[in-house]
Amino acid sequence: MSRLVEPKDPALNANPTRRIASPGRFFAVCLASSLAAMALIGAFNVLVDPYGEFDTRLVPLDDSDRHSRALKVSLLCRAAEPPEALILGNSRSMQLSPATVRVLTGLRTFNASTAAGSAFDLLAFTRLALARSRRLRTLIVGLDTFMLHAAHPRAELLYFPLVRYLPEMRSPLLAHLARAGRTTASSTAWLSAEQLYYLREERPRNYAFDADGKIRYLQYDEWVEEGRWFNPLPYALESVRSQYVGSFNVDPEPTEQASAALELWLAEADRANLDVYIFLPPLHSFLTAFLERESRYREHMDAYRRCMQRLGGRFRFKFYDLATVDRFGGNDRWFLDGTHMIGPNNDLVLKAILKDVSRSGSRVAVR
């Protein structure tokens, strides 16, 4: 019985290149293409450096408050002379003026406060400043209750170079792997492209930073200077009221992680012989009264003060409870939204904290 044989395609025999590639070859081509794409994306992101991780300095960093940690590190490290005093804290301390501190103390000062700062930020920025210069003498810290509630550092705090100063939180190997992932990510490439776009176009923003780290509320600072500021912005005050009533209805006790970071920071400040001034930032009186009625605000204040008292028995620092404006001669008028001070309140806070500090150096004008 004869067997049917399927005829071969003569065209296929005549042109071997038309033969189907092997799975191994297909995989190799795909892998090479992917690696090439990642290399191109990575090179682009390194050159633009939107997070300031490689210090290429070819493209200016975003000077809004979206990535305030990267910008603060860049400003701090590029200063002509390293600071002798640091202002630390979260966004509620961002408008404290380094120029005012220099008037009061004679110390060259930088504002290293960051958006949503925590005890981990205090540790990282103090270590960074000490690594750059042993001339650091003073820390002025706006430490609010929320800074004691973080259980881990924010993602931006684990970017280079700050992650180098938090080896307890992330090992060097994991830190480098994470940076490699960010550098080759399409989301970082999008941010890099945005940075290039805004080299020629005006970036829409409400904030900017001076070279000494102080934030400027672009439109509202003009109103203060022109005498047209009368009260907190109503919509902003309402927004903060809604946010804070939820924030003050959680467990009031500091987390173990934040407490450990705070203790480690104070211990290192002691070893470096730094003068540490900690203050509780104020709230607008309307907001305080509302929170006392509608949240666990008083429990939070009690837990916070117990924490300060406990730490005060072990470490060397001065603490100022400035929870309300009457404690430093301020005014409810000078708030942006009920939590963030604007105008004279900032200088009044600094004067209350530094009134007994001996001055050194030459006098400069207050901005």
CATH number of the domain bearing residue 147:
3.40.50.1110
With H, G, I as helix, E, B as strand and everything else as coil, classify residue 217. Answer: strand
Question: Quick check: is 44 in a domain?
Answer: no
Kindly state whether residue 176 falls inside one of the protein's structural domains. Answer: no
- The pLDDT score that the predictor gives to residue 234 is 92
Written as six digits, the tokens of 262 are 């705070």
**Which helix or strand (DSSP H or E) is residue 209 part of?**
strand 207-209
> How does pLDDT run along the chain (367 residues), one tens digit per residue?
555 555 555 554 555 555 556 888 877 888 788 888 888 999 999 999 999 999 998 998 887 666 789 999 999 998 889 999 999 999 999 999 999 999 999 999 999 999 999 999 999 999 999 999 889 999 999 999 999 999 999 999 999 999 999 999 999 999 999 999 999 999 999 999 999 999 888 888 888 999 999 999 998 999 999 999 999 999 999 999 999 999 999 999 999 999 999 999 999 999 999 999 999 999 999 999 999 999 999 999 999 999 999 999 999 999 999 999 999 999 999 999 999 999 999 999 999 999 988 776 433 333 2
Using alpha carbons, select from 284, 231, 315 the residue that is nearest to residue 92: 284
If residue 110 lies in a helix (H) or strand (E), which one and from where to where?
A: strand 109-111
Contacts of residue 183, defined as CB under 8 A and 6 or more positions apart, other chains included, come to: 41, 42, 45, 46, 53
Phi/psi at 278 (5° precision): -110, 135
CB atoms within 10 A of CB 247: 16
Q: Is residue 164 part of a domain?
A: yes
What is the value of pTM for the model shown? 0.89
In a domain, 60, yes or no: no
Please state whether beta strands 85-89 and 207-209 pair in parallel, antiparallel, or not at all (unpaired).
Answer: unpaired
Q: Give the chain's domain count.
A: 1
User: Which residues neighbour 320 within 8 Å (Cβ) at sequence distance 6 or greater?
Assistant: 277, 278, 279, 280, 328, 352, 353
Residue 287 located in a structural domain: yes
Please check whether residue 36 lies inside any domain of the structure.
no
177 lies in some domain: no
Q: Is 12 exposed, middle or buried (0-12, 13-18, 19+ CB in 10 A)?
A: exposed
Domain hosting 235: range is 73-170+206-354
In a domain, 8, yes or no: no
